[in-house]
Amino acid sequence: MQLTEHASSLDELRERFQTVRNFSETLCEPLTPEDCVVQSMPDVSPTRWHLAHTSWFFETFVLARQPDYTPHHPEYEYLFNSYYNSVGKQFPRPQRGMLTRPGRDEVIEYRHSIDVAVSRLLEDLPEDMAGSVPAIIELGLHHEQQHQELILTDIKHVLSCNPLMPVYREGVTQLTPSRELEWIDFDGGIREIGHTGSGFAYDNESPRHEVLLRDFSLASRPVTAGDYLAFIEDDGYRRPELWLSMGWSALEQEQWTAPLYWFEKDGKWWEFTLAGPRPLNPAAPVCHVSYFEADAFARWANGRLPTETEWEVACATHGAADGHFVDGLLAADRPVHPAAAASDQPIAQMLGDVWEWTASPYVAYPGYRAAAGALGEYNGKFMCNQYVLRGGSCATHSTHIRPTYRNFFPPEARWQFSGFRLARDAE
Amino acid sequence: MQLTEHASSLDELRERFQTVRNFSETLCEPLTPEDCVVQSMPDVSPTRWHLAHTSWFFETFVLARQPDYTPHHPEYEYLFNSYYNSVGKQFPRPQRGMLTRPGRDEVIEYRHSIDVAVSRLLEDLPEDMAGSVPAIIELGLHHEQQHQELILTDIKHVLSCNPLMPVYREGVTQLTPSRELEWIDFDGGIREIGHTGSGFAYDNESPRHEVLLRDFSLASRPVTAGDYLAFIEDDGYRRPELWLSMGWSALEQEQWTAPLYWFEKDGKWWEFTLAGPRPLNPAAPVCHVSYFEADAFARWANGRLPTETEWEVACATHGAADGHFVDGLLAADRPVHPAAAASDQPIAQMLGDVWEWTASPYVAYPGYRAAAGALGEYNGKFMCNQYVLRGGSCATHSTHIRPTYRNFFPPEARWQFSGFRLARDAE
Amino acid sequence: MQLTEHASSLDELRERFQTVRNFSETLCEPLTPEDCVVQSMPDVSPTRWHLAHTSWFFETFVLARQPDYTPHHPEYEYLFNSYYNSVGKQFPRPQRGMLTRPGRDEVIEYRHSIDVAVSRLLEDLPEDMAGSVPAIIELGLHHEQQHQELILTDIKHVLSCNPLMPVYREGVTQLTPSRELEWIDFDGGIREIGHTGSGFAYDNESPRHEVLLRDFSLASRPVTAGDYLAFIEDDGYRRPELWLSMGWSALEQEQWTAPLYWFEKDGKWWEFTLAGPRPLNPAAPVCHVSYFEADAFARWANGRLPTETEWEVACATHGAADGHFVDGLLAADRPVHPAAAASDQPIAQMLGDVWEWTASPYVAYPGYRAAAGALGEYNGKFMCNQYVLRGGSCATHSTHIRPTYRNFFPPEARWQFSGFRLARDAE
Amino acid sequence: MQLTEHASSLDELRERFQTVRNFSETLCEPLTPEDCVVQSMPDVSPTRWHLAHTSWFFETFVLARQPDYTPHHPEYEYLFNSYYNSVGKQFPRPQRGMLTRPGRDEVIEYRHSIDVAVSRLLEDLPEDMAGSVPAIIELGLHHEQQHQELILTDIKHVLSCNPLMPVYREGVTQLTPSRELEWIDFDGGIREIGHTGSGFAYDNESPRHEVLLRDFSLASRPVTAGDYLAFIEDDGYRRPELWLSMGWSALEQEQWTAPLYWFEKDGKWWEFTLAGPRPLNPAAPVCHVSYFEADAFARWANGRLPTETEWEVACATHGAADGHFVDGLLAADRPVHPAAAASDQPIAQMLGDVWEWTASPYVAYPGYRAAAGALGEYNGKFMCNQYVLRGGSCATHSTHIRPTYRNFFPPEARWQFSGFRLARDAE
């Protein structure tokens, strides 16, 4: 993380702090207390846990720096530590769904108590904290925004386990035709990727460094549900030759026959969304696919996934119209953007529709070193058996995404809002 | 089940119906909505599920007998069927904790709607239902009382998974000395066991039949926590020769070193109770032990567990002072009964303190045949790899226990309020 | 075990010792060294392990009683101890198939060295051993005969895992019609069961004791493959109402659709036998079924399984023609006995065709106490979650079976030569 | 794979074919028939399986191209297909250890029959096969050499499971001091990596392509057991901050406290080798470590693992003295090479001592496309969640290794002869 001082004054930071913190609670408004308890699989955390953990972050890394600080509750350090070994023991992750207390009201109270304390600290920041605390708060806000996205992805999974198919929030989906796919060409050569400038970035986006690219072409839009349907209908899930070996094993083990949340009813395809079950929208980007499925589709389509380098260079070159960020709370996931369909930009929607799987395993940039101490555990220790996704999804906040952002998940993960676009070598 | 008409008039039945139904809700008063969601292990069901399932029972087996009956909700038959294959498919048991909807309020509403409908039906019972419905309602009420006990045992397990050790209900435990153990002798010969008379009984208590007994002695009281501590301190959990082979495997697998809910803190033994953590009470009956632990203790103590035949004959012979039934809601589990300690009766407390493991595998009585149809699935299909427990516990309602009652659990189960008393052969 | 001195003189014992020991090796003659390595499931032990363990038994319980005895190999006590905690640690059972050494030749050498030592000891038995050693050797020979049966059941399972379906030994099966089933009536009353007389018996067959029986009828022959086929064709494996709850779970989990080793090919039923694949013989007793399958069949057929008491009383009453013991090494498993079909005896073939599941959980007889020390671990510690089987199978040696013999296996076990016969209550 | 015609004439190829084929059998000479059966974990295959599968390769991809070819055995295509979906179904990998037939003699017979047939074909190669068959045979021989290495790594694991710690082959280990570690500097810039020239290479080594390197330094020798001991003694296995998150999980799950095959006895470190248990040799390269352990050591030592690009460029720049290839059958694994210690070359032993983990996930080179058909399944479908290892080990045949060779294993794998050397960024 870029733990340096930023342009924003402390006042601006305080305001932004409150805005981001409030938004977490806004996201939970449609949920019942019961909804906020369940961990539907080990990857998922209960909503209450997200709300408490993000507060724990500020308490642990900001408030506890004050001499004589008394923790809000003696057990919370243990209960709401996610994975920071340097901080201490953690309540076992797969058991987060066993906790019924503290209840939602108590968690909200915990949040507010932290909010007040951080706000007060910022009003009168001791000199010896001025160098570090603003940057840590900035990091904490981005951390909170990551969890806001997880609140949505996780609750979608929780609700999907219920045959009643509950609605998180009603929403309107406009069915508009998707754009025609075009291939945009890019020249190879030595380029630079990675974070630059004074804005916030995670540590894994640095150092900015030179890369060697070969000529390539990139699709002007993500693969759509309609495109993907053709793959299914061409027996894509029954032809091992299209799949990585581990992908085929996952398919057999999990009995995949379509993206997560798709289901057939009376001979038609539907998908479960945050607005409840909906008929499949062929014009929308396909979503909730694993790396394995993206990779198999690409092989079937005689293309390939772009590397993260190609993706970032393309995004930096052309800019990119924005997609459907969550901050507008448009409700249904992945609506088709009318503007996008009519966009003049060659590559539309690189940010904010679906996270796009790249062909790149998640590794350190050359010269990367994780920071010392607990915050160094934020990103670096996960650089193994994960793939980089780029661009942010409809569940990402628009202030939380940028062209250099490196998200990462294991190749079998499907519960994120993950899609992909195709690339190919220059001919 | 004894599905015959009982003495009670329909009015009395309606009143009893409402009393029992209300008590289920009374039991849930101390719980938050969050508490009612979690399934802390496959054996445990969420509180809301118990509340809904017991209503489903009346809806399915009583209300749905009416022509043109419209179900309360089209999915509830599937969601809240426990194990009745004859009724239809069941939502998978291990996933009951995944359901956040219907929420507690909706479930309560469901309950009340069923209550009203059953009550109305009883007010004006069609002639063709008069022969069967009262008996099924009676069965449903005993079924509900079983689930009332499960509500308590299950929520105790749920709360115990939380390092905060939440309190279900505050309560006072009187620490009084336990009675001295005495051995009561019984003569052998041909006796009868099994249900008799016109009161309610489950089908597995019939037919009443002759058994051949040998002379035996039975302990006047259950094994106490203090007795059991001596076993622990004599390395009882480290000496395989005291254990059944399967028991030793369970001990090693689960790393048992004491009864469930016991823990050591600062060199002292505590137990987690429904009133929160408490110092161990050596005078109280030991509780939350498996059949394996009861059996190993008995071998260590040069005794044995009684057969269910011996237990029932003893109980029928001597009557038995009552224990600490839940209907008084005395709060802490397993208080020591002052009266019991002073009792004149040779065998005190056979009913209502702890379920007592017997040496008897759960098998059909000679001549037993399960009823046809779904209600025949109530008991008979579980007659395998389970052991009979007798007597009822502090969590059993006093109107729900009788000397012929046969409870049953697998030998490794510990989350029930299960203890035991010793027997021995006549010398 | 009946550890008393028997009629046989030491000379007779020595001779019998060598005969039994040799027979173990005779059974292994058709096997390759590779065959003797594999453990195809945790229940199965490799052939070499059986050969070594039975020798370990004599070494540990007989030879090691001699002062200054030097073990054949320092690691064998650990490697070949099965489950005797009193003797010491055991090499983990599920890993027996990991051991490639000692090889077959070394194991045979181990056997012969033990044989010589035991034989010498018997030639000149020290006085202080005269009281115990002959009885322990007798026990060891019966132990060895149990393992002879296991060598056959286990190797059948091992070979069945191979698509090449190898033949253990060629054999001829005579297809003769099975006898008509008759119901033989027995009067109730007080009877005695359990071991009596001076012959050898395991400890679990004692004490002989009185039991109370009700009038019942017993089938004159076991259920045949043809009978069982009718159950399959009547959707027996698809109707949960016929099954115990645990049985139905096992069926679903293991995807049972027929007895173990049955398979369909070109629309016909075959079974894998020790003589390789064979067309199903409808006249032969059905074999390789679990307790669950026997129980479900009985429910379907409006019968029930006999209790072990009923079985023993019937066997004692009528005597019983012998079946097809392995000592003749007739090769194919479960041939139809021509003699049996023509037998005049009302109940034929109670001994030596298939082990017959009874309805009786395996519990201690009243007054039973396991012996002290390691040999007390032989039987007693397994009295949990197992069912009694009676009668011996075609793989049992004829000198190793008797009407009071109590075999036991968990209800899901199918790899033994296990079948069943029906009983019913008197009308 | 480079499926083009090679310089070697058909005669030379035939001779080389026989040499390589014979060597597989030479490797098995010290083994008993029993040794060749066991699969000690799913990654391991039984020796007999390796012997048969390598023959299956020639039968399937060479001999079966002949019209009217009759397979050696109708079931072998199924039994000995490893993972080629295009060829057909495969016997399940985790069950390879269940097969006791065909026995070793039959497998050897199978091998010889294939040898004769291939040899004959090469003597008179039909014109329409001249273009493809020699290249496929070349591939088959390299395939066989890979399995020769696996025969050794797998049997080492099998034997290690046995408390008897059997010896594969006696051997002499010379304990000589290891070289002092030096850091060799390399300049960055654009370089080329990947296969070039007319020799054999697998398809994953192509296309040769440009890469952009930064200045770096590489250690002159692999990390030694002595170096690694210092890491252990500095609590390396108890400090989560040194480990990748997945690595720490693996450590906890598998309870790693040292490299595979290390064990402590009487306060001293030993390792199990193919020559049996040996005192740890501190001068030898550390071996049998996972990627996770290599990565954690590097972090502890303030270094990092080299990328495969760095490794290849270094190897290509300096050449490299050879290590201790198996073809000499020096017996003990990883002896210290006296010559190496005295070598003048700056980087000794890059080839032939231990496989060296690199920091590089196994991905396709730019422009890589797997071949069509079954042989395209050889490498490409495994490009996921694996890391590249370079250099070959003491168990690799010297004719089977080259600087561009890319081996790959999952990061948790330890049973290969895998070590590592350190790199660091230029200062």
Q: Which 3-state string (H, E, C) describes chain B?
A: CCCCCCCCCHHHHHHHHHHHHHHHHHHHCCCCCHHHCCCCCCCCCCHHHHHHHHHHHHHHHCHHHCCCCCCCCCCHHHHCCCCCCCCCCCCCHHHHHHCCCCCHHHHHHHHHHHHHHHHHHHHCCCHHHHCCHHHHHHHHHHHHHHHHHHHHHHHHHHHHCCCCCCCCCCCCCCCCCCCCCCEEEECCEEEEECCCCCCCCCHHHCCCEEEEECCEEEECCCCEHHHHHHHHHCCHHHCHHHCCHHHHHHHHHHCCCCCCCEEEECCEEEEEECCEEEECCCCCECCCCCHHHHHHHHHHCCCECCCHHHHHHHHHHHCCCECCCHHHCCCCCCCCCHHHHHCCCCCCCCECECEEEEEEECCCCCCCCCCCCHHHHCCHHHCCCCEEEECCECCCCHHHCCCCCCEEECCCCCCCCEECCCEEECC
- Residue D169 in domain: no
Distance from CA of D165 to the nearest CA of C (A): 9
Q: pLDDT at residue D8 above 60?
A: no
Of B209, B244, B382, the CB nearest to C381: B244
Position D305 confidence tier, pLDDT thresholds 50, 70, 90: very high
- Residue D176 in domain: no
Whether residue D97 is found in the same domain as residue D215: no
Whether residue C288 is found in the same domain as residue C391: yes
pTM for the full predicted model: 0.94
Peptide bond into A403 cis (omega under 30): no
Position D231 confidence tier, pLDDT thresholds 50, 70, 90: very high
Confirm or reject contact between B36 and chain A (CB < 8 A): yes
- pLDDT value for A21: 97
How far is CA B52 from its chain centroid?
19
- Residue D171 in domain: no
For D166-215, the pLDDT digits (tens) are 999 887 555 455 678 999 999 999 999 999 998 999 999 999 999 999 99
Whether residue B317 is found in the same domain as residue B410: yes
Of C85, C247, C367, the CB nearest to B240: C85
Confirm or reject contact between A241 and chain D (CB < 8 A): yes
Q: pLDDT at residue A179 above 90?
A: no
Among A9-13, C183-187, C338-342, D266-270, the range scoring the smallest mean pLDDT is C338-342
Residue with tokens 């047939």: D117
- Residue B178 in domain: no
- Residue B173 in domain: no
Residue C218 has phi, psi (to 5 degrees) of -130, 140
**What does the alpha-carbon distance between residue B361 and residue A27 come to, in Å, rounded to a whole number?**
54
- pLDDT value for B371: 84
For A190-235, the pLDDT digits (tens) are 999 999 998 999 999 999 999 999 999 999 999 999 999 999 999 9
- pLDDT value for B1: 44
In DSSP notation, D357-368 reads: EEEEE--PPTT-
Whether residue D192 is found in the same domain as residue D153: no
Both tokens assigned to B374: 């779904």
- pLDDT value for C348: 63
- Residue C171 in domain: no
Residue with tokens 């794979």: D1
- Average pLDDT for C97-108: 98
Q: pLDDT at residue C344 above 90?
A: no
Confirm or reject contact between C40 and chain D (CB < 8 A): yes
What residues have CB less than 8 Å from D377, skipping those under 6 apart? A241, D83, D84, D85, D86, D370
Whether residue B51 is found in the same domain as residue B127: yes
Inter-axis angle of helices B245-254 and B291-300, nearest 10: 120
Interface test with B, best of C249, C381, C409, C427 (most B CBs within 10 A): C381
Of B33, B104, B162, the CB nearest to A98: B162
Whether residue B286 is found in the same domain as residue B409: yes
Contacting residues of B for A32, CB less than 8 Å apart: 33, 100-101, 103
Task: Tell me if C99 and D161 make a contact (CB, 8 A cut-off).
Answer: yes
- Average pLDDT for C125-149: 95
For B244-269, the pLDDT digits (tens) are 999 999 999 999 999 999 999 999 99
- pLDDT value for C333: 54
Confirm or reject contact between B95 and chain A (CB < 8 A): yes
- pLDDT value for C170: 85
Q: pLDDT at residue C321 above 80?
A: no
Position C372 confidence tier, pLDDT thresholds 50, 70, 90: confident
CB within 8 Å of chain C, chain B residues 373-392: 377, 381-385
- pLDDT value for D347: 67
Of B38, B48, B163, the CB nearest to A97: B38
Among A213-227, A232-246, C331-345, D18-32, the range scoring the smallest mean pLDDT is C331-345
Contacting residues of A for D241, CB less than 8 Å apart: 85-86, 377
**What does the alpha-carbon distance between residue B322 and residue B295 come to, in Å, rounded to a whole number?**
25
CB atoms within 10 A of CB B66: 13
Q: What letter does residue C304 receive in the DSSP assignment? A: B
**What does the alpha-carbon distance between residue C156 and residue A209 come to, in Å, rounded to a whole number?**
65
| Cβ atoms of C87 and C56 closer than 8 Å | no
Find, among D401, D405, D397, the residue nearest to D20 by Cα: D397
Find, among B272, B288, B270, the residue nearest to B280 by Cα: B270
Please identify, among C128, C160, C192, the residue that sits at the C-terminal boundary of a domain: C160
| Strand stretches in D287-415, DSSP E | 355-361, 387-390, 407-409
For A345-376, the pLDDT digits (tens) are 666 678 888 999 999 999 999 999 888 888 99
- Residue C19 in domain: yes
Q: pLDDT at residue B335 above 50?
A: no
Task: Tell me if A385 and D385 make a contact (CB, 8 A cut-off).
Answer: yes
**What does the alpha-carbon distance between residue C384 and residue D408 come to, in Å, rounded to a whole number?**
49
Q: How many domains does chain B have?
A: 2
Its domain, for residue B413, covers: 183-425
Contacting residues of B for C217, CB less than 8 Å apart: none
Q: pLDDT at residue C339 above 70?
A: no
Distance from CA of B361 to the nearest CA of C (A): 7
CB atoms within 10 A of CB A345: 13
Question: Domain containing B231 — which CATH number?
Answer: 3.90.1580.10
Of C212, C245, C382, the CB nearest to B245: C382
Confirm or reject contact between D238 and chain A (CB < 8 A): no
Both tokens assigned to B173: 């435990």
Task: Tell me if B79 and A163 make a contact (CB, 8 A cut-off).
Answer: yes
- Residue B174 in domain: no
Radius of gyration over alpha carbons of chain B, in Å?
22
Whether residue D149 is found in the same domain as residue D22: yes
SS3 C425: strand
- pLDDT value for A330: 42
- Average pLDDT for C182-189: 94
- pLDDT value for A338: 44
User: Is ipTM strictly over 0.90?
Assistant: yes
H or E element in which residue D418 lies: strand D418-419
Whether residue B261 is found in the same domain as residue B332: yes
Whether residue B238 is found in the same domain as residue B322: yes
Distance from CA of B276 to the nearest CA of A (A): 14
Task: Tell me if B212 and C210 make a contact (CB, 8 A cut-off).
Answer: yes
Peptide bond into C207 cis (omega under 30): yes
Whether residue C33 is found in the same domain as residue C122: yes
Q: pLDDT at residue B108 above 70?
A: yes
Peptide bond into B335 cis (omega under 30): no
Chain D: touching chains (3 or more CB pairs < 8 Å): A, C
* Long-range contact pairs involving C365-369 (C-beta distance under 8 Å, separation at least 24): C365/C194, C365/C204, C365/C205, C365/C206, C365/C207, C365/C209, C366/B214, C366/B425, C366/C207, C366/C209, C367/B214, C367/B425, C367/C207, C367/C209, C368/C203, C368/C204, C368/C206, C368/C207
- pLDDT value for D372: 83
Q: How many residues does chain B have?
A: 427
Instruction: Please provide the average confidence, as pLDDT, over all residues in chain B.
Output: 91
Distance from CA of B4 to the nearest CA of C (A): 23
Whether residue A208 is found in the same domain as residue A147: no
Task: Tell me if A101 and B34 make a contact (CB, 8 A cut-off).
Answer: yes
Among chain A residues, CA nearest to B78: A163
Whether residue B152 is found in the same domain as residue B192: no
Distance from CA of D345 to the nearest CA of A (A): 28
Confirm or reject contact between B188 and chain C (CB < 8 A): no
Task: Tell me if A158 and B98 make a contact (CB, 8 A cut-off).
Answer: yes
Task: Tell me if A99 and B35 make a contact (CB, 8 A cut-off).
Answer: no
Question: Domain containing D92 — which CATH number?
Answer: 1.20.120
Helix intervals (H) in D262-365: 291-300, 308-318, 338-342
Task: Tell me if C164 and D32 make a contact (CB, 8 A cut-off).
Answer: no
